[in-house]
Amino acid sequence: MSAQVREEIKQKIRINTGYTYIFCLNLVSYQWVSAQDNHCYLDTNTCSEIPIWDCRQKRLLAVVKFYHSISKIHGNMKNLSDIIQQTFSQTISKRLIWTQLIHDRNFTNTLDQCSWPPKYLHGRETLNRTVFDLEDLNEVFTFMKDGHYKPTNCTPKQRVAIIVPYRDREPQMKIFLNNVIPRIYRQQLEFGIYIVEQTSGVPFNRGMLSNIGFKEAILDMKYDCIVIHDLDILPEDDRNFYTCDDNPIHMAVKVQQFKYNLPYKGFAGGVTTFSKLQYEKINGFSNQYFGWGGEDDDLFTRMKKNNYSLIRPFEEFGHCGSIKHQQANKKNDRLKILKYAHKIWQRDGLNNLKYNLLIKRLKQLYVWIYVNIDMLNVRKSLDIKLKK
């Protein structure tokens, strides 16, 4: 037998041995990666601070390094290193795709519940009243997308929609975003922020804008909790949770503009949370209050009519700072309308809401909703007579 023939036989033996080796490595690596997938779900120490997909990806990259080191050992086999790397790349690519599919389908079911109460709260902090540009805030809060945030490493306790009635207060809105977003973020809640802006021409209607925000928010997502939030009253303590309970919750217990006191027992303004069912049961806010005040007192009447108690957090946690702004004209017909509150609440609210949606636009930090309200048609919708 010639030397050339003997060398060809040896080469075939090396190649056959190499393919057998590849098969064994693929089998072992598949089982190892599968086991590590399970480890990613269960190992809270190594994976709790990063998304599960990132954890898997790191472990798969570790397998790549393992293959590379093994191929170096057999460098004397001609082309074996290239064969192994090519075969491995195909195997890992398929495995990555499949792992991502499983992740996409089961992500919400495989994550543990976010810790409650949350672990990383700061407690009470003074408000940051600096007015930053929106571009700067966008760079800070990069975790926000389309006005929405969802924790990636755990399943949040609730999905929360923050509804903010708004008009002509851009500096206050920037302060609001800079203070509220990090507090809710630390509470590990899934949340969306809706800035509901009314066009000029008729007096501001906070109650109706709240109803519009509710209607538009529930079209976007199945929210568990609705927070009606004034732009100028901001919780100072992240232990004051943006969540809902069996009864509506009034978060603004001690407000700076009232010298950190509750102005009166039935005060329901500032920041109030409702479950979707609660808000629908009370028929939302009245649509009749144009101008300053009245809608929150009407709201309290609606809660009492439906046998709801207004829950308040511990006074220690319920401190809220105030943002100064130009005071609205308090001369209007709110007191006259309040006399009808107990009679008209079932006919006036969500069930007779009419508005003209001009713009609904997704921005990074919030959803902007721009609406026009016809005051004359709103007042005509009810048969109440307001004497001048």
DSSP secondary structure code for residue 145 in this structure: B
Looking at the structure, tell me whether residues 241 and 373 fall in a common domain: yes
Q: Mean pLDDT, 10 residues at a time, over the chain (388 residues)?
A: 67 63 54 47 34 41 48 48 51 48 47 92 95 96 98 96 96 97 98 97 95 98 97 96 97 93 89 98 95 90 95 91 73 80 90 96 98 91 62
- Strands 271-275 and 225-229: what pairing? antiparallel
Looking at the structure, tell me whether residues 52 and 171 fall in a common domain: no
Write the pLDDT tens digit of every residue in 176-224. Answer: 999 999 999 999 999 999 999 999 999 999 999 999 999 999 999 999 9
Query: Is the separation of the CB atoms in 235 and 320 below 8 Å?
Result: yes
Collapsing DSSP to helix, strand or coil, 344 comes out as helix
**Number of folded domains that form the chain:** 2
Write the pLDDT tens digit of every residue in 277-330. Answer: 999 999 999 999 998 888 999 999 999 999 999 999 888 899 999 998 666 666
Looking at the structure, tell me whether residues 201 and 341 fall in a common domain: yes
Please indicate, yes or no, if residue 119 is contained in any of the structural domains: no
Q: Domain boundary at 95, 110, 125, which?
A: 110
Cα-based distances in Å from 249 to 13, 208, 226, 271: 76, 20, 10, 9
Please indicate, yes or no, if residue 81 is contained in any of the structural domains: yes
Please indicate, yes or no, if residue 318 is contained in any of the structural domains: yes
Please indicate, yes or no, if residue 115 is contained in any of the structural domains: no
Which residue from 253, 283, 287 is spatially nearest to 269, judged by alpha carbons?
253
pLDDT (0 to 100) of residue 57: 41
Looking at the structure, tell me whether residues 263 and 208 fall in a common domain: yes
pLDDT (0 to 100) of residue 222: 95
Looking at the structure, tell me whether residues 339 and 247 fall in a common domain: yes
DSSP secondary structure code for residue 155 in this structure: B
CATH number at residue 266: 3.90.550.10
Looking at the structure, tell me whether residues 106 and 224 fall in a common domain: no
Cα-based distances in Å from 229 to 5, 43, 234, 250, 252: 85, 39, 8, 10, 10
Q: Domain boundary at 110, 145, 170, which?
A: 110
Looking at the structure, tell me whether residues 281 and 204 fall in a common domain: yes
pLDDT (0 to 100) of residue 105: 34
Read off φ and ψ for residue 71, nearest 5 degrees: -65, -30
C-alpha torsion sign, points 272, 238, 369, 334: positive
H helical segments located in 154-273 = 170-186, 206-220
Which residue from 269, 348, 364, 264 is spatially nearest to 305, judged by alpha carbons?
348
Please indicate, yes or no, if residue 104 is contained in any of the structural domains: yes
Looking at the structure, tell me whether residues 179 and 305 fall in a common domain: yes
Looking at the structure, tell me whether residues 50 and 139 fall in a common domain: no
Structure tokens at 334: 């709110």
Total residues found in the chain within this entry: 388
Please indicate, yes or no, if residue 185 is contained in any of the structural domains: yes
| Cβ atoms within 10 Å of 11's Cβ, excluding its own | 13
Looking at the structure, tell me whether residues 195 and 295 fall in a common domain: yes
Interatomic CA distance for residues 272 and 11, integer angstroms:
78
Looking at the structure, tell me whether residues 217 and 263 fall in a common domain: yes
List CB contacts of 132: < 8 A, sequence separation 6 or more. 174, 178
Please indicate, yes or no, if residue 124 is contained in any of the structural domains: no
Looking at the structure, tell me whether residues 87 and 200 fall in a common domain: no
Please indicate, yes or no, if residue 285 is contained in any of the structural domains: yes
Q: Which domain holds residue 47?
A: 3-110
